[in-house]
Homo-oligomer: A and B are copies of this chain.
Amino acid sequence: MQHPLKLMRCRKDRERVVILGSGWAGYTIARQLDPKKFQAVVVSPRSYFAFTPLLASTAVGTLEFRTALEPIRGRRTKFEYFQGWADGVDFKNKTVAIEEAVDDPTQSLAPTRERHANKTKHEREVEKVREAKKGTLFNLSYDKLVITVGCYSQTFNTPGVRENAYFLKDVGDARRIRNRLLACFEAAALPTTSDEMRQNLLNFAIVGGGPTGIEFSAELHDIIQEDLARIYPELIPFHHITVYDVADKVLPMFDEKLAKYAMDTFRREGISIRTKHHVEGLRIGPPEHSAEKDLGEHTCYTLKVKEEGEIGVGMVVWSTGLMNNPFVAKSMANVPDLPRASVKLLESGSKIDGSSSVSWTIQKDPKSGSVITDNRLRVKLEARGDAKDKPQAILNDVYALGDCAILDGTVYPATAQVASQKADWLAKRLNRNDIEQTRFEWKNLGVMAYIGNWNALFQGGGGVGNISGRAAWVIWRGAYLTKSVSWRNKILIPTYWFINWIFGRDISRF
């Protein structure tokens, strides 16, 4: 066995910052940390950063998958990377246990449950010993730890959703959707497919009326109108798109007028919106009331909606709900016997004796289970026990940001914008070593959503500067082109927009 980190270009004079995750928070901070001051090490099961706002476009081929990705490793990368999952953390000895994930077949898909969920606790413990021996589980020490592990997709335990729904959180999900969508049309085009099955296969349901669900519906409408209507003209009468949401309106982050504009646009485009509807299940196969029972390989799914009963669908795209990350839930709970030097006591903790070690609990948001941080993005602790006025503290050198963390006392949304602003801020503070002199505050830059047919919504920060329609679409495209990370993608994205506008989207499946 090698020295565990032989390969790393260590510099003794630099602190090692281990960053768990490669999303909006983790990737941003990794790129911005000064390599002269810090040895940054990214640990993530994904070998890339996904530019999530463009995933809906890639799911229908308006853009190619890789235009929404930035490889973590590149010719100019100044930080280290290990492909793996964080499996545990020892705050006392400052090490993270890493389970490598080089060949993980789920590495590009939305996670919906703990990856070892099918094993008992004992089985997993036995496995861990074996993995440590094989080198697939190893420890990485840190000077500073940045936790940006994000959230999983929440299915609310709706029966069949985890197994049968299509998610849209990562590029593998986008590829699955693209292949399924085109396979539904190809199967419907077979001469032996019945009209009833055609109707089922070409009925697309989107669950969740947030920006992701709305933008995907809009992109789906676009590919059907602009491309599939010319390629499969006979099949177009069979298709339908429906957006379901339990709330009484979609796009809740937009003001009334813009949300209404979106709903009117959808109505004109023939997309149905069913608010106050409750999805109760999703299974493979046609509805009970269907004439067809044995449908061969091209069967549809059946969506069960409380208000509508069973509905045959070709695909359900599930874009609602965040689930607490199992790493946060399991590995970031209790912190026993932490030496006094590892924490910074807050006012209420002043009564704690300076020499002894104390057992702490990591503060969590009771609803989401997210880690609570102070306004310098440091993880908050409280002493264990039942006392009412429990001593509180800050865990030194441990930061949490992105969807897995909540800044104490704020209601910032779980968006890329908040995550990347936090990352920008933290990288700057660490580089300048001035975290005590300032505190993070989110600057709301507004929200945008594409609503199809070259229309979008834009709402400026604080609800001012609302724009809808074609002008907002120009802003939408301009913003994402500007924000896309690499020059490579700044060239490729408009190239594909142009090519697919002129020649149509590519419908090859492989």
Q: How far, in angstroms, from A508 to B182 measured CA to CA in the complex?
A: 24
Residue of B nearest to A296 (CB): B134
Q: Cβ of A69 and Cβ of B510 under 8 Å apart? A: yes
Q: Cβ of A495 and Cβ of B503 under 8 Å apart? A: no
Q: How far, in angstroms, from A7 to B70 measured CA to CA in the complex?
A: 43
Q: How far, in angstroms, from A509 to B66 measured CA to CA in the complex?
A: 10
Q: How far, in angstroms, from A418 to B4 measured CA to CA in the complex?
A: 55
Interface segment out of the listed A145-153, A187-195, A240-248, A329-337: A187-195
Task: Tell me if A479 counts as interface (CB < 8 A to partner B).
Answer: no
Residues 487-509 of A, flagged 1 when their CB comes within 8 A of B and 0 if not, give 11001100100010011101111
Task: Tell me if A424 counts as interface (CB < 8 A to partner B).
Answer: no
Chain A: interface secondary structure? loop
Task: Tell me if A359 counts as interface (CB < 8 A to partner B).
Answer: no
Q: How far, in angstroms, from A72 to B185 measured CA to CA in the complex?
A: 14
> Which single member of B74, B190, B232, B295 contacts A82 (CB below 8 Å)?
B190
Q: Cβ of A230 and Cβ of B75 under 8 Å apart? A: yes
Known: A103-B183, A134-B294. 5 other contacts (CB 8 A): A47-B507, A69-B506, A71-B506, A71-B507, A100-B297
Nearest 7 pairs between A and B by C-beta? A135-B192, A108-B510, A134-B296, A48-B508, A71-B508, A488-B503, A136-B296
Task: Tell me if A326 counts as interface (CB < 8 A to partner B).
Answer: no
Q: Cβ of B231 and Cβ of A192 under 8 Å apart? A: no
**B-contacting residues of A (Cβ < 8 Å)?**
1-8, 46-48, 64-66, 69-75, 77, 81-83, 100, 102-103, 107-108, 131, 133-136, 138, 170-172, 175, 182-183, 186-187, 189-195, 227, 230-232, 234, 294-298, 486-488, 491-492, 495, 499, 502-504, 506-510
Q: For residue A419, give the distance in angstroms from its CB to the closest CB of chain B.
A: 20
Q: Within 8 Å CB of A182, what residues of B? A: 47
**14 residue pairs A–B, Cβ–Cβ below 8 Å:** A2-B193, A3-B191, A7-B191, A7-B234, A64-B66, A71-B508, A73-B232, A81-B189, A100-B190, A100-B298, A102-B187, A135-B190, A135-B296, A491-B495
Q: For residue A199, give the distance in angstroms from its CB to the closest CB of chain B.
A: 13
Q: Cβ of A510 and Cβ of B192 under 8 Å apart? A: no
Residue of B nearest to A509 (CB): B47
Q: Cβ of B77 and Cβ of A231 under 8 Å apart? A: yes
Residue of B nearest to A503 (CB): B488
Q: Cβ of A65 and Cβ of B510 under 8 Å apart? A: yes
